[in-house]
Amino acid sequence: MIDFLASCPWYVDHVRPVWLALPPEMRGRFYVSQRSVHAAAGLPGVMTGRPGGEVRPIYTVSFGDFRSARMLGRQTIALGQHGAGQSYSNDYPAYPGGRGQGEVSLFLVPNETAARRTRAAYPRARVEIVGCPKLDTLPTKDRDGAPVIAFSFHWNSKSIAPEMTSAWEHYQRAIILLSRHRHVLGHAHPREMFKIGRWYQRANIEVVTSFDDVLRRADVYACDNSSSLFEFAATGRPVVVLNHPAYRRNVEHGLRFWAAASVGVNVDDPLRLGAAVERAVEDPPEMRAAREKALRIVYQPLRGGAELAAAALVDWARSQAPEARRQRERRVR
């Protein structure tokens, strides 16, 4: 059996499809925090609390949750990605190939870019490319009508890399001008939702805290740097890629920077935002072709990730069974 751990609601969104794709006899306990209980509602095996005192394999999609499980004594851990597998040519712990992941024995990653970095850093670990299990569960748009444009911004962490600079302040004025003749929604990374949400409110822009609601309502999604860019694009709808002057064009990190940046209309100058949004609304054939090409770089495959991830976890867990028995026997002694 395999336990799961998801301390935040957005982590639950990524592991829920995998949990449901597991054979029922392989489902152990699904550990969540109090803040994640609602996101895991209806799943069998859900419980709040700390995942200690067990020798079963455990799966999570957060570096923080991985460290928590390890500190609580878990020794057989699989780590997946809760994003597109972006990293920044450094060893920051939360990204593929980052430091501090040496105790992971199975990595589940969305694409070859993340797999290559992970294999280079941890050659003894098992690495499986499974796409993004969440994609098959994304909500579709509720209804047609006048185009709705949603904006979102990542948390500002330029200390990690210049490409982690939030573009929010760079585009503020342009978003307000656009909102005067387009229906605009305001969203942000959970870490920034409170601060940026207050700005949206002051600008008379409707705040939408749930990305699922963005998916249900928006026709176009504009964002600076987030896996949500690719998730929205995977529903077949256009995106606008918001660049910041700090983003270095001569540095290739892959994926968003820059191999898959063609997933949408790229904007560098806030004065060009309106024109970029109008082009995205049109979504001509060449734009759709570029979007699909970029998505093939980010998600390999584009569909069926939950089943691939579940199969990899089951095979891994069964291969770990002898070691788990030895751990159990040592504890009994």
Question: What is the predicted pLDDT for the residue at 327?
Answer: 56
90-144 pLDDT per residue, tens: 999 999 999 999 999 999 999 999 999 999 999 999 999 999 999 999 998 988 8
Greatest CA span in the chain, whole angstroms?
Answer: 72
Question: What is the predicted pLDDT for the residue at 133?
Answer: 97
Please report which confidence band the pLDDT of residue 56 belongs to, taking 50, 70 and 90 as the band edges. very high
Same CATH fold assignment for domains 2-132+301-332 and 141-298: yes
- Whether residue 231 contacts residue 300, with contact meaning beta carbons closer than 8 Å, is answered with no
- Whether residue 263 contacts residue 239, with contact meaning beta carbons closer than 8 Å, is answered with yes
Question: What is the predicted pLDDT for the residue at 328?
Answer: 52
Please report which confidence band the pLDDT of residue 185 belongs to, taking 50, 70 and 90 as the band edges. very high
Averaged pLDDT, 56-81: 96
Question: What is the predicted pLDDT for the residue at 10?
Answer: 94
d(CA 238, CA 233): 6
Q: Residue 105 corresponds to which tokens in the numbers above?
A: 């024995």
Give the fold, CATH level 3, of 2-132+301-332: Rossmann fold (3.40.50)
Query: 18 — phi, psi (to 5°)?
Result: -70, -45
Q: Residue 319 corresponds to which tokens in the numbers above?
A: 């291969």
18-42 pLDDT per residue, tens: 999 999 999 999 999 999 999 999 8
186-199 pLDDT per residue, tens: 999 999 999 999 99
Question: What is the predicted pLDDT for the residue at 332?
Answer: 45
Q: What is the mean pLDDT of the chain?
A: 94
Question: How many residues are listed for the chain in this entry?
Answer: 333
Question: What is the predicted pLDDT for the residue at 143?
Answer: 80
Contacts of 185 (CB under 8 A, 6+ apart): 148, 149, 150, 151, 205, 206, 207, 208, 214, 217, 218
- Residue ranges of the domains in the chain? 2-132+301-332, 141-298
Q: Considering only the top CATH level, what class is 141-298?
A: alpha beta
223-269 pLDDT per residue, tens: 999 999 999 999 999 999 999 999 999 999 999 999 999 999 999 99
d(CA 154, CA 243): 12
Please report which confidence band the pLDDT of residue 324 belongs to, taking 50, 70 and 90 as the band edges. low
Contacts of 81 (CB under 8 A, 6+ apart): 14, 61, 96, 108, 109, 110, 114, 132
- Tell whether the model's pLDDT for residue 159 goes beyond 70: yes
